[in-house]
Amino acid sequence: MTARVERLRASLEEPLLVTNPTNIYYLFGFKSSNSALLVDDDGVRLFTDFRYAEAARAVDGVRFEETKRALLWDLAERLSGRIGFEADYMSYSGWETLGSGSVEPVPRRGLVERLRAVKDEHELVAIGRACEVTDRMFERLTEERFIGRTELDVAWTIEQLFHEEGADRVAFESIVASGPNSARPHARATAREIRAGETVVIDTGCTVGAYSSDYTRTFATGPLDGVVKEAYAVVLAAQEAGLEAIRAGIAGVDADAAARQVVDATSFAGTFGHGLGHGLGLEIHETPRMSTESTDTLASGNVVTVEPGIYLEGRAGIRIEDNVVVRDGGIENFTGFRKDLITVG
């Protein structure tokens, strides 16, 4: 049985049914759109239907049981007693189905996610590789033409560059947001034509060996007005304050405050409307969180984004984002790409 499963078992009050595909992959490296793991004192049972049966039989450390395609209906018939389920993943209808037989479903939250939050050396190497590819992609992107092209066209170029630099795939739909669109933190690339003299926020990342990067840089397409240039300097200072504050043992709310107070001490107070960052790994958004609402405490081995921003509605936006490893005495920054304001043509 893997060390990850042993750590999970130590935290259980009753058997746990794992149905989140990412958590199943984390525990045993098995990928499927229709599977479940039952972890209890007797070992681990892996359930899936005929489509994935051959792959499931090859998984070490589990006892495989083939099910009907209606997985939860099948499990409701073959399992019984108190069984924990992943309440943050299973739907209400799934809970109803699981409890329709002899199972007493018990909601449990974050049991596997807390394990995933602390990365081992293999995971850190994989994330580091994704960051190295992202560094190279951004270096090449600065040589590309921006003015006169649509945001969608630049997003397609990003995907091509990632492919050429060795990424398995883009980690998520790249944000390319120019001019007034850049004032929307989660803007989607559009058919808007990028113009001279405005900001372009690029938020992108790639996946290498199942683990991902998540960077943001803000470029200028020519001279910017004084207010926008000042905002860029404030965001950079806020990020530096956040990076200096982050260490094992700091509360996520306090890490966020270290960066937020830099913005709030200027005329841009109130324009940094999202959290400072989030965990990163098999998924783009993981535990822990750094925000005004966070209840997490950072631990050595967490990988987090650090991404303050300023958003001037209808005008411009700036965000700068690094990927860092939390250590006992500070951080290890996996992000190598420069952070001065780069002008692109």
CA 281/CA 303 separation, integer angstroms: 7
pLDDT tens for 281-312 read 999 999 999 999 999 999 999 999 999 999 99
pLDDT over 90 (residue 1): no
Contact indicator for 274, 291 with CB cutoff of 8 Å = yes
- Domains of the chain as residue ranges with CATH: 3-116 (3.40.350.10), 118-343 (3.90.230.10)
CA 11/CA 21 separation, integer angstroms: 20
Question: What mean pLDDT, rounded, does the chain reach?
Answer: 97
Q: What's the rounded mean pLDDT across residues 63-72?
A: 97
Predicted pLDDT of residue 322: 98
Cut 0.85: pTM above it: yes
Predicted pLDDT of residue 336: 96
Burial class (CB in 10 A: 0-12, 13-18, 19+), 19: buried
